[in-house]
Amino acid sequence: MTAILRVECLTRYFAGLAALKEVSFEVEQGLICGLIGPNGAGKTTLLSIVAGSLRPTSGAVIFEGRSLGGAKSFAAARAGVVRTHQVPRPFSALSVLENVEVGSRFGSARAADGSLTPRRILEWVGLAGLADAAAGTLSVGNQKRLELARALAARPRLLLCDEVCSGLTGAETASVLALLREIQRSGTTILYVEHNLRAIMSVCDHVVVMNHGRKLAEGPPQEVQANPEVIEAYIGKKAGKKAARQAAPGRDG
């Protein structure tokens, strides 16, 4: 299987504080890869570095075999790596349609597939009725959809989703997850940072767990979920020990 993204020994310091410490992992093409971890684990930092919004202190980001090497975010987007933002950042003075047009008229250098016009994307995402509304007037849920629509319009080969489900109701979350699966089916790889564990487990093929800036574990969702260290990171030492005991019965009674 080909790895569309390889993150090698990524390290990032913020004035003496290590947000990321030598994190390495791969994302296979065509999969939805989840990135989870408790608050402060460094997930968004990592996402920002891959997207080009932030430069690593050291380490490499290799996309489709070529190093992105601290490129600025627009260069990353041109290469096919596009992100959404955790807190939506719509272009308020533009209409919803125009917002998506920014993505489609710029975005990756890949030739546009004629069928995926801005309007089609809005339909896909469920915002067709609001195409002419000013983006600044949208509800939070719709702004998150707009983030997705805009990023999609930029024709990403790797879509970086930053907590697209945070702040959404159960029903909204379900529909966004369904959307993500459709995006994956259409050939785009997704790296998905999320806090909502249930969402991650239901939609991801592979999960990477981070804690305190380091990679803690990775693997299929079920495996990761049962990992004692992961449980300890999220809940606490006791639960972790309990899980370890359950995993190896008869070890210490």
Partner 1 sequence: MTALAEGTEGSEGTEDAPRPQRSRFLAAAPPLLLVAGLAALPLTGLGPNSIRLAFVTFVWITASVAWNLLGGFGGQVSFGFAVFYGLGAYAAAVAINAAVNPLAAFLLAGGVAALASLAIGLPTFRLKGPYFAIATIGVSEAVRVVMTNLSPTGGASGYRIVEPGAFRQLHHFYTALALAVVAVAVSIAVRRSKLGLALVAVREDEDAAGDLGVNPFRTKLLAHALAAALTGAAGGVHARYAAYIHPQGEFAFGIGVGILLMPIIGGLGTIWGPVIGGVVYGLIHDEVVASFPQLHLLIYGSLLILIVLFEPAGILGLVNRVAALARRRLRAREPRRMEPR
Partner 2 sequence: MSVGMTIVYGVMKIVNLAHAGFLMLGAYFVYELYNRFAIDPLLGVLLAFPAFFIVGMGIHRVLIRRLPTSDQPTLASLMLLFGLWLVLQNLGYLVWGNADRSILTPRTLSVMNIGPITFPTVRLVVCGTAVASLAILEIVLRKTWFGRAVRALMQNRDAGRIAGVNVERTAQVAFGVGIAFAGAAGGLLAMLYSFSPDFGGSFLLRAFVIIVLGGLESFAGVAAGALILALAETFSILALPASYQPAIAFSLLVLALLVLPDGIAGLWIKRRRLA
Residues that bind partner 2 (CB under 8 A): 14, 19, 44-45, 48, 53-55, 85-87, 162
In the complex, the smallest distance separating the C-beta of residue 239 from partner 2, rounded to whole angstroms, is: 27
Among residues 217, 249, 213, the alpha carbon closest in space to that of 16 is found at 213
3-state secondary structure of 165: coil
Q: Is residue 108 at the binding interface for partner 1, with CB under 8 A as the rule?
A: yes
On whether the CB atoms of residues 137 and 88 are closer than 8 A, the answer is: no
Among 30, 57, 91, 126, binds partner 1 (CB under 8 A): 91
Decide: is 229 part of the binding site for partner 1 (CB under 8 A). Answer: no
Nearer Cβ to partner 2 (121/151) = 151
Between 19 and 32, CB nearer to partner 2: 19
Q: Does 150 bind partner 1 (CB under 8 A)?
A: yes
Handedness of CA 165, 169, 175, 177 (dihedral sign): positive
Question: Looking at this protein, which amino acid is placed at residue 127?
Answer: L
For 90, phi then psi, to 5°, come to -75, 155
Partner from partner 1, partner 2, none contacting 77, C-beta within 5 to 8 A by type: partner 1
CB pairs under 8 A, 24+ apart, for 166-173?
166/86, 166/194, 166/195, 166/196, 167/140, 167/141, 168/140, 168/141, 168/144, 169/141, 172/141, 173/199
> Minimal distance in Å, beta carbon 166 to partner 2?
10
**Interacting partner of 176 out of partner 1, partner 2, none (Cβ under 5 to 8 A depending on kind):** none
User: Rounded CA gap, 111 and 93, in Å?
Assistant: 28
Contact between 86 and partner 1 per CB under 8 A: no
134 binds, among partner 1, partner 2, none (CB under 5 to 8 A by kind): partner 1
Pairing of strands 206-211, 214-219: antiparallel
What string marks each residue from 51 to 80 as x (binds partner 1 by CB under 8 A) or -?
xxx------------------xxx--xx--
Q: For residue 209, which amino acid is it? A: V
Which residues are at the interface with partner 1 (CB under 8 A)? 51-53, 72-74, 77-78, 82-83, 85, 89-94, 98, 101-103, 105-108, 134, 150-151, 154
